[in-house]
Amino acid sequence: MKKYDYLIVGSGLFGAVFARYAVDNGKSCLVIEKRSHPGGNLYCKNINGINVHEYGAHIFHTNNRRVWEYVNRYAEFNRYTNSPIANYKGEIYNLPFNMNTFSRMWGVVTPEQARKKIDQQKSVIDHEPRNLEEQAIRLVGVDIYNKLIKGYTEKQWGRDCSQLPAFIIKRLPVRYTYDNNYFNDRYQGIPIGGYNVLIDALLEGCDIEFGVDYNKNREKYDAVADKMVYTGTIDSYYNYRFGKLEYRSLRFETVELDTDNYQGVAVVNYTDRETPFTRIIEHKHFEYGEQPITIIT
């Protein structure tokens, strides 16, 4: 079997960036990927002209100008701004928590009014928070916790918030401005044509094998290179000798709809406990699509 300078296990963003750097510096790389396609969780599947984020929404954002200039060498990014919506039993709220959220929640119109309301509700926790529920209330008050945090968090973790440790939520973004931009970073966007454009450019010049589980073929692939970059799950790498990590798995259901605009925004979070999913993603809005149909996940 051909010898390489590097074996790279996993073709997601980290593995692809390392491969690009290595190849640009005269090194040979073999990339092996467990799935049938490159890109890891960034992979996009084109369905009727819409780039579907197969493994959940990913919005590229950074404050680092060098990072932004680097990725733009390999793909042109649009100016998509992430402004998700929260749906609590039909009530619509802007995220992250900002003056639009507070105005909808309480009818307040000034930052002073909003601060007073939140401070009043936070005061019900007058001790060091002992769990996530108390921590969240201590940060944003009872109303926001009950409507926008509790159900959503419990669906994500599969546990009651009172049974989750407080450190999971160290802080919650609260803005006393009418600003729905989820991220504070200076640079933000989605690669035009989807993330595959970026990943394919980063992996150019590498040999790639798909459908390969490194942990089941170690002897074979350890022999192809003296150095390895491993980007898979760390517990499987050690053959679970220290036990299995409690990864929370996600299940995606993707549907094509005969309408040109289903929800008017890319991401809607369903924050009540009863709705049996956490969010709906309408993929065409990531790239301002004008297709006559739409696809949601």
Q: What is the mean pLDDT of residues 273-292?
A: 97
**pLDDT value at residue 278:** 96
**pLDDT value at residue 248:** 62
Domain boundaries, the chain: 4-80+189-237, 96-168
**pLDDT value at residue 247:** 63
- CA separation (Å) from 167 to 83, 134, 179, 273? 26, 11, 27, 22
Q: What is the pTM of this model?
A: 0.92
**Spatial distance between the Cα atoms of 294 and 210, rounded to a whole number of angstroms:** 30
Q: What percent of the chain clears pLDDT 70, i.e. is strictly above it?
A: 99
Q: What residues contact 253, with CB distance under 8 A and at least 6 apart?
A: 277, 297
Q: Which one is predicted more confidently, 99 or 249? A: 99
Q: What is the mean pLDDT of residues 269-280?
A: 97
pLDDT digits over 145-155, tens only? 999 999 999 99
Q: Which one is predicted more confidently, 276 or 246? A: 276
**Spatial distance between the Cα atoms of 242 and 252, rounded to a whole number of angstroms:** 30
Residue 126 has pLDDT above 70, yes or no: yes
Residue 170 has pLDDT above 90, yes or no: no
- Record the tokens describing residue 166, joined without a space: 């407080």
Q: Where are the beta strands (DSSP E) in the chain?
A: 4-9, 29-33, 44-47, 50-53, 60-62, 85-88, 91-94, 187-189, 207-210, 225-230, 255-257, 267-270, 279-281, 294-296
pLDDT digits over 72-88, tens only? 999 999 999 999 999 99
For 282: left if phi > 0, alpha if psi spans -120 to 50, otherwise beta; the answer is beta
pLDDT digits over 32-62, tens only? 999 999 999 999 999 999 999 999 999 999 9
Q: Where are the beta strands (DSSP E) in 136-206?
A: 187-189
- Record the tokens describing residue 246, joined without a space: 């409690």
Q: What homologous superfamily is domain 4-80+189-237 in, according to CATH? A: NAD(P)-binding Rossmann-like Domain (3.40.50.720)
Q: Which one is predicted more confidently, 169 or 32? A: 32
| 223 exposure class (CB count in 10 Å sphere: 0-12, 13-18, 19+) | exposed
Side chain identity, residue 228: M
Report the interhelical angle of 195-202 vs 65-74 (nearest 10°). Answer: 90
Residue 246 has pLDDT above 90, yes or no: no
Q: What is the mean pLDDT of residues 128-148?
A: 96
| Residues facing residue 281 across a β-bridge | 267
Computed over every residue of the chain, the mean pLDDT equals 96
**Spatial distance between the Cα atoms of 101 and 106, rounded to a whole number of angstroms:** 9
Q: Given pLDDT bands bounded at 50, 70 and 90, which one contains residue 172?
A: confident
**Spatial distance between the Cα atoms of 111 and 117, rounded to a whole number of angstroms:** 10
